[in-house]
């Protein structure tokens, strides 16, 4: 009888031990119950809503608890949200910063608590508190825009000159300079040779940058450019716009300035494939938009978070390019592509990113 009891006790103890080990393995493998903070800049742009939703969905499917916060493009709000994520027990932070140079102090707090930080799509600057960077190849984004212009104007063969105006993104977003430099790596030789002519003469980043990526600010600048340089009939062939929010403002100004799609409408570039902009592409008011599939980026960030929690090697494919002023941040770069009127159905609709009705 005593032997039977001992056997039963041993069986129960072994079962309990196996259960505990199984739960621990599940927690480690799937991140079950592990809290992840996701800080997004704003809900005022379609792309950040999609990024946040994709991130939350993918992380939750992997078993994580997600604290997703939007900061309404207010730095103080984002700082407060991140501080709350630290104190509320988040084990990893994923941050798309509003101002990449404003997070040093709060990330120092995260580092003290040994909380790894993944900079999402925008590099966080001037701090050693950022562990990894997940983004698209932002120099290549600009290159694709420049190459699109090069091909559409046949710059390698055409005599020119062609008139161009340049726009750049918000100076507090580190990506803006990568977009600009990527595009100019293609366009600058044609500007230097005179085949591309910047009629306004405005070519330096500081002058052409649009703070906060604001549509209305891009529209106001385009209005000014048209009034000062094109009111007497000078032809405008192309406008380099780094993203879709600026492209919307540029298109609004062109329309109000009397430009007509299919006649004198210039080439206008963009990025993000927002719904309003893809409708403009279909209508001839925008020539292309860079497609950065946020589902791909979200999936990669989930891989990175899981590797951090499990203590395995975090996937990166670039350990040289992204220096934030304090350190070179190990990065994973996804590849962008462009969508235009000829291929948007394959890239955006057949892939399930949008439905045909959304772009109708």
- Check whether 207 has a pLDDT greater than 90: yes
CA–CA distance from 62 to each of 55, 193, 262, 283 (Å)?
A: 11, 53, 48, 40
CATH 3.40.50.2300 residue ranges in the chain?
Answer: 31-130+293-335, 138-292
**pTM summary value:** 0.84
The mean-pLDDT minimum among 30-34, 173-177, 289-293, 340-344 falls in 30-34
Looking at domain 31-130+293-335, its CATH architecture is 3-Layer(aba) Sandwich (3.40)
Predicted confidence at residue 312, as pLDDT, reads 97
Residues 349/355, Cβ–Cβ less than 8 Å? yes
The predicted-structure confidence for 254-266, as pLDDT tens digits, reads as follows 999 999 999 999 9
More confident residue, 309 or 3: 309
Work out the pLDDT band at 31, boundaries 50, 70, 90: low
The predicted-structure confidence for 290-328, as pLDDT tens digits, reads as follows 999 989 999 999 999 999 999 999 999 999 999 999 999
Residues 283/333, Cβ–Cβ less than 8 Å? no
Predicted confidence at residue 77, as pLDDT, reads 98
- CATH top-level class for 138-292? alpha beta
């Amino acid at each position: 009888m005593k032997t039977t009891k001992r056997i039963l006790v041993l069986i129960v103890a072994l079962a309990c031990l196996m259960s505990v080990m199984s739960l621990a393995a599940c927690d480690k493998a799937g991140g079950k119950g592990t809290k992840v903070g996701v800080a997004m800049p704003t809900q005022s742009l379609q792309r950040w809503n999609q990024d946040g939703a994709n991130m939350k969905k993918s992380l939750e499917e992997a078993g994580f608890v997600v604290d997703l916060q939007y900061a309404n493009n207010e730095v103080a709000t984002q700082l407060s949200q991140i501080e709350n994520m630290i104190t509320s027990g988040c084990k990893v932070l994923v941050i798309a910063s509003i101002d990449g140079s404003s997070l040093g102090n709060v990330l120092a707090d995260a580092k003290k608590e040994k909380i790894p930080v993944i900079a999402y799509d925008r590099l966080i600057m001037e701090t050693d508190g950022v562990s990894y960077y997940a983004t698209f190849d932002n120099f290549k984004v600009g290159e694709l825009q420049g190459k699109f212009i090069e091909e559409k104007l046949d710059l390698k063969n055409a005599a020119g000159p062609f008139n161009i105006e340049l726009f750049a993104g918000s100076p507090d977003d580190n990506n803006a300079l990568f977009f600009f430099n990527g595009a100019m790596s293609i366009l600058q030789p044609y500007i230097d040779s005179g085949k591309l002519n910047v009629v306004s003469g405005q070519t330096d980043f500081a002058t052409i940058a649009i703070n906060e990526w604001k549509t209305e600010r891009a529209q106001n600048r385009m209005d000014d450019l048209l009034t000062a340089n094109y009111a007497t009939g000078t032809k405008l062939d192309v406008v380099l716009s780094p993203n879709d929010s600026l492209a919307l403002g540029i298109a609004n100004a062109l329309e109000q300035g009397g430009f007509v799609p299919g006649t004198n409408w210039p080439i206008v570039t963009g990025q993000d494939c927002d719904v309003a902009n893809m409708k403009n592409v279909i209508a001839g008011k925008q020539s292309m938009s860079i497609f950065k599939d946020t589902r791909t980026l979200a999936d990669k960030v989930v891989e990175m978070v899981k590797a951090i929690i499990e203590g395995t090697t975090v996937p990166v494919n670039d350990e040289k390019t992204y220096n934030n002023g304090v350190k070179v941040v190990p990065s994973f770069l996804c590849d962008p592509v462009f969508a235009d009127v000829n291929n948007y159905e394959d890239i955006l609709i057949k892939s399930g990113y949008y439905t045909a009705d959304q772009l109708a």
